[in-house]
């Protein structure tokens, strides 16, 4: 599903253009203040890419319900195409992947039922990695299989959701 709503912040484009986009702490604080977001830091995601060639795919559970604030560059949502207007936030629902083009900086803010989904996913993966490394033989074998299954699922999903 494409971005369903564009939100123009009260601060002008000049303010956002003046930020040091390589300073993630400064950017996150400005975004939290602008959107009145008191939530914990794990519900905000700062992504900064500098790729050449094909867009870089990013998969997060929170893309099912989030706000994406585009500070620099552009990103692609399958079925909608390129989102290019910087200094705006986009409400996104029911997406699995975003594709970041070139030099792009975004802040993703988890919304609704997806708040905490990325943290939960990270914790589950971390537990599997620890079990694979430190668990009993049976636990290591099970964790290794689950991690391999997760990797296959991500690869398959990336191919399925490519915008080209």
Q: What CATH number is attached to the domain comprising 28?
A: 2.60.120
Tell whether the model's pLDDT for residue 39 goes beyond 80.
no
Instruction: Indicate if 109 and 122 belong to the same structural domain.
Output: no
Question: How far is Cα 11 from Cα 20, in angstroms, rounded to an integer?
Answer: 16
Got the DSSP string for 71-125? EEEEEEETTTEEE--TTEEEEEES-SEEEEEEEEEEEEEE-GGGTTHHHHHHHHH
Rounded to an integer, the average pLDDT of 142-149 is 84
Average pLDDT value over all residues in the chain: 86
Residue 112 backbone dihedrals phi, psi, to 5 degrees? 45, -135
Residues 92 and 66: beta-carbon distance below 8 Å: yes
The reported pLDDT for the residue numbered 88 is 92
Q: What percent of the chain has pLDDT over 70?
A: 96
Helix (H) or strand (E) holding 57: strand 56-59
Partners of 56 in beta bridges: 100
Instruction: Indicate if 7 and 67 belong to the same structural domain.
Output: yes
Tell whether the model's pLDDT for residue 73 goes beyond 90.
yes
The position carrying tokens 């708040």 is 115
Tell whether the model's pLDDT for residue 7 goes beyond 70.
yes
Tell whether the model's pLDDT for residue 140 goes beyond 90.
no
Tell whether the model's pLDDT for residue 162 goes beyond 80.
no
Instruction: Indicate if 73 and 62 belong to the same structural domain.
Output: yes
Helix (H) or strand (E) holding 147: helix 137-160
Instruction: Indicate if 95 and 62 belong to the same structural domain.
Output: yes
* Domain assignment of residue 130, given as a range: 117-160
Instruction: Indicate if 51 and 128 belong to the same structural domain.
Output: no
Per residue in 115-129, is it b (16+ CB within 10 Å) or e — as a string?
bbbbeeeeeeeeebe
Q: Smallest Cα–Cα separation from 77: which of 6, 154, 157, 161? A: 161
Tell whether the model's pLDDT for residue 89 goes beyond 90.
yes
The position carrying tokens 């079925």 is 79
């Amino acid at each position: 599903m494409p971005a369903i709503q564009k939100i123009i912040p009260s601060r002008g484009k000049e303010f956002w253009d003046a930020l040091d986009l390589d300073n993630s702490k400064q950017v996150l604080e400005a975004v939290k203040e602008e959107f009145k977001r008191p939530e914990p830091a794990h519900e905000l995601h700062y992504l900064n890419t500098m790729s050449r060639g094909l867009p870089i795919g990013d998969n997060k559970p929170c893309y099912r319900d989030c706000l994406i604030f585009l500070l620099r560059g552009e990103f692609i949502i399958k079925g909608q195409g390129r989102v290019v207007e910087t200094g705006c936030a986009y409400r996104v629902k029911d997406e699995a992947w975003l594709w970041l083009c070139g030099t792009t900086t975004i802040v993703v803010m988890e919304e609704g039922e997806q708040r905490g989904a990325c943290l939960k996913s990270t914790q589950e993966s971390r537990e599997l990695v620890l079990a694979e490394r430190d668990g009993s033989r049976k636990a290591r074998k099970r964790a290794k299989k689950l991690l391999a299954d997760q990797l296959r699922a991500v690869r398959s999903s990336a191919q399925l959701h490519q915008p080209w």
